Amino acid sequence: MTVHPGEGPRIVVGVDGSESSKQALRWALRHAEVTGGVLETVTAWEYPQLYGSLGWMPPLSEEEVDFERIARHVLLDAVKEVAGPEPSVEMRTTVAFGPPTSVLLEASKGASLLVLGSRGHGGFTEALLGSVGQHCTHHGTCPVVIVRGVPENP
Protein backbone atom coordinates (compact mmCIF):
# COMPACT_ATOMS: atom_id res chain seq x y z
CA MET A 1 0.00 0.00 0.00
CA THR A 2 1.43 3.33 -1.04
CA VAL A 3 0.84 6.02 1.57
CA HIS A 4 1.91 9.59 0.91
CA PRO A 5 3.25 11.65 3.83
CA GLY A 6 0.46 13.39 5.70
CA GLU A 7 -2.37 11.50 4.00
CA GLY A 8 -3.85 8.04 3.73
CA PRO A 9 -3.69 5.76 0.73
CA ARG A 10 -4.56 7.27 -2.66
CA ILE A 11 -7.45 5.42 -4.25
CA VAL A 12 -8.14 6.10 -7.92
CA VAL A 13 -11.57 5.35 -9.35
CA GLY A 14 -12.60 5.58 -12.99
CA VAL A 15 -15.93 7.31 -13.55
CA ASP A 16 -17.66 7.61 -16.93
CA GLY A 17 -21.19 8.27 -15.69
CA SER A 18 -22.39 4.71 -16.24
CA GLU A 19 -24.19 2.88 -13.42
CA SER A 20 -21.28 0.47 -13.23
CA SER A 21 -18.81 3.31 -12.64
CA LYS A 22 -21.10 4.82 -9.99
CA GLN A 23 -21.13 1.47 -8.19
CA ALA A 24 -17.32 1.46 -8.36
CA LEU A 25 -17.32 4.99 -6.95
CA ARG A 26 -19.58 3.90 -4.06
CA TRP A 27 -17.24 0.98 -3.29
CA ALA A 28 -14.14 3.20 -3.49
CA LEU A 29 -15.75 5.83 -1.27
CA ARG A 30 -16.51 3.25 1.43
CA HIS A 31 -12.96 1.87 1.12
CA ALA A 32 -11.50 5.37 1.49
CA GLU A 33 -13.66 5.96 4.59
CA VAL A 34 -12.41 2.74 6.20
CA THR A 35 -8.74 3.25 5.31
CA GLY A 36 -8.57 7.03 5.75
CA GLY A 37 -7.71 7.29 2.07
CA VAL A 38 -7.83 10.10 -0.43
CA LEU A 39 -10.19 9.40 -3.31
CA GLU A 40 -9.23 10.56 -6.79
CA THR A 41 -12.04 10.35 -9.32
CA VAL A 42 -10.83 10.19 -12.90
CA THR A 43 -12.53 10.48 -16.27
CA ALA A 44 -11.11 10.58 -19.77
CA TRP A 45 -12.39 12.36 -22.82
CA GLU A 46 -11.60 12.09 -26.50
CA TYR A 47 -12.93 13.59 -29.68
CA PRO A 48 -15.59 11.31 -31.20
CA GLN A 49 -14.14 8.80 -33.61
CA LEU A 50 -15.45 10.46 -36.78
CA TYR A 51 -15.28 14.04 -35.50
CA GLY A 52 -13.90 16.23 -38.28
CA SER A 53 -12.98 13.28 -40.49
CA LEU A 54 -15.58 14.17 -43.10
CA GLY A 55 -13.96 17.48 -43.88
CA TRP A 56 -16.82 19.96 -43.71
CA MET A 57 -19.02 19.65 -40.65
CA PRO A 58 -22.22 21.50 -39.85
CA PRO A 59 -21.63 24.36 -37.43
CA LEU A 60 -21.98 23.35 -33.82
CA SER A 61 -22.36 25.56 -30.80
CA GLU A 62 -19.34 26.01 -28.55
CA GLU A 63 -21.10 23.99 -25.84
CA GLU A 64 -21.59 21.03 -28.16
CA VAL A 65 -17.90 20.78 -29.00
CA ASP A 66 -16.47 21.36 -25.52
CA PHE A 67 -15.96 17.67 -24.83
CA GLU A 68 -13.76 18.34 -21.81
CA ARG A 69 -16.49 20.44 -20.20
CA ILE A 70 -19.03 17.71 -20.88
CA ALA A 71 -16.74 15.06 -19.35
CA ARG A 72 -16.15 17.24 -16.27
CA HIS A 73 -19.92 17.74 -15.90
CA VAL A 74 -20.54 13.96 -16.10
CA LEU A 75 -17.83 13.30 -13.50
CA LEU A 76 -19.02 15.97 -11.07
CA ASP A 77 -22.65 14.87 -11.41
CA ALA A 78 -21.69 11.26 -10.60
CA VAL A 79 -19.59 12.37 -7.60
CA LYS A 80 -22.42 14.54 -6.29
CA GLU A 81 -24.94 11.71 -6.74
CA VAL A 82 -22.79 9.15 -4.93
CA ALA A 83 -20.91 11.22 -2.32
CA GLY A 84 -23.36 14.05 -1.77
CA PRO A 85 -22.51 17.73 -1.45
CA GLU A 86 -20.07 17.16 1.44
CA PRO A 87 -18.07 13.95 0.88
CA SER A 88 -16.87 12.10 3.97
CA VAL A 89 -13.31 11.81 2.62
CA GLU A 90 -10.89 14.06 0.78
CA MET A 91 -11.76 13.88 -2.91
CA ARG A 92 -9.92 15.07 -5.97
CA THR A 93 -11.15 15.10 -9.55
CA THR A 94 -9.13 14.60 -12.71
CA VAL A 95 -10.42 15.11 -16.24
CA ALA A 96 -7.82 14.19 -18.85
CA PHE A 97 -7.67 13.95 -22.63
CA GLY A 98 -6.85 10.53 -24.02
CA PRO A 99 -8.00 6.94 -24.23
CA PRO A 100 -9.54 5.77 -20.93
CA THR A 101 -6.98 3.00 -20.47
CA SER A 102 -4.03 5.37 -20.84
CA VAL A 103 -5.58 8.03 -18.60
CA LEU A 104 -6.46 5.55 -15.85
CA LEU A 105 -3.11 3.78 -15.91
CA GLU A 106 -1.26 7.11 -15.76
CA ALA A 107 -3.48 8.40 -12.93
CA SER A 108 -3.00 5.21 -10.92
CA LYS A 109 0.82 5.32 -10.95
CA GLY A 110 1.86 5.44 -7.31
CA ALA A 111 -1.71 4.81 -6.11
CA SER A 112 -2.65 2.18 -3.57
CA LEU A 113 -5.63 0.99 -5.57
CA LEU A 114 -7.42 1.45 -8.90
CA VAL A 115 -11.17 0.82 -8.78
CA LEU A 116 -13.29 0.31 -11.90
CA GLY A 117 -16.79 -0.79 -12.75
CA SER A 118 -17.10 -4.01 -14.70
CA ARG A 119 -18.95 -2.35 -17.60
CA GLY A 120 -18.80 1.18 -18.94
CA HIS A 121 -20.57 2.65 -21.93
CA GLY A 122 -18.98 0.14 -24.33
CA GLY A 123 -20.85 -1.93 -26.87
CA PHE A 124 -20.95 -5.50 -25.52
CA THR A 125 -23.19 -5.27 -22.48
CA GLU A 126 -23.29 -9.05 -22.08
CA ALA A 127 -19.53 -9.26 -21.49
CA LEU A 128 -18.47 -9.88 -17.90
CA LEU A 129 -15.58 -7.42 -18.10
CA GLY A 130 -15.21 -4.41 -20.36
CA SER A 131 -12.14 -3.71 -22.46
CA VAL A 132 -10.95 -0.87 -20.20
CA GLY A 133 -11.15 -3.04 -17.08
CA GLN A 134 -9.45 -5.91 -18.83
CA HIS A 135 -6.60 -3.71 -20.07
CA CYS A 136 -6.11 -2.09 -16.66
CA THR A 137 -6.03 -5.42 -14.82
CA HIS A 138 -3.32 -6.64 -17.19
CA HIS A 139 -1.19 -3.47 -17.23
CA GLY A 140 -1.86 -1.74 -13.90
CA THR A 141 1.04 -0.93 -11.58
CA CYS A 142 -1.13 -1.15 -8.46
CA PRO A 143 -3.86 -3.54 -7.34
CA VAL A 144 -7.03 -3.22 -9.44
CA VAL A 145 -10.53 -3.84 -8.08
CA ILE A 146 -13.34 -4.52 -10.53
CA VAL A 147 -16.75 -3.88 -8.97
CA ARG A 148 -19.46 -6.06 -10.44
CA GLY A 149 -22.90 -4.50 -10.36
CA VAL A 150 -26.13 -6.03 -9.23
CA PRO A 151 -27.83 -7.72 -12.20
CA GLU A 152 -30.76 -5.72 -13.59
CA ASN A 153 -32.94 -8.84 -13.94
CA PRO A 154 -32.01 -11.25 -11.13
> φ and ψ at 31, to 5 degrees?
-65, -40
* pTM of the shown model: 0.82
Give the mean pLDDT of 31-38.
96
pLDDT mean over 9-36: 96
Position 49 scores a pLDDT of 66
* Interatomic CA distance for residues 24 and 15, integer angstroms: 8
The yes-or-no verdict on residue 120 having pLDDT over 80 is no
What is the pLDDT at residue 143? 97
pLDDT value at residue 124: 46
Per residue in 136-153, pLDDT tens? 999 999 999 999 876 555
Are 42 and 96 in contact, with CB atoms under 8 Å apart? yes
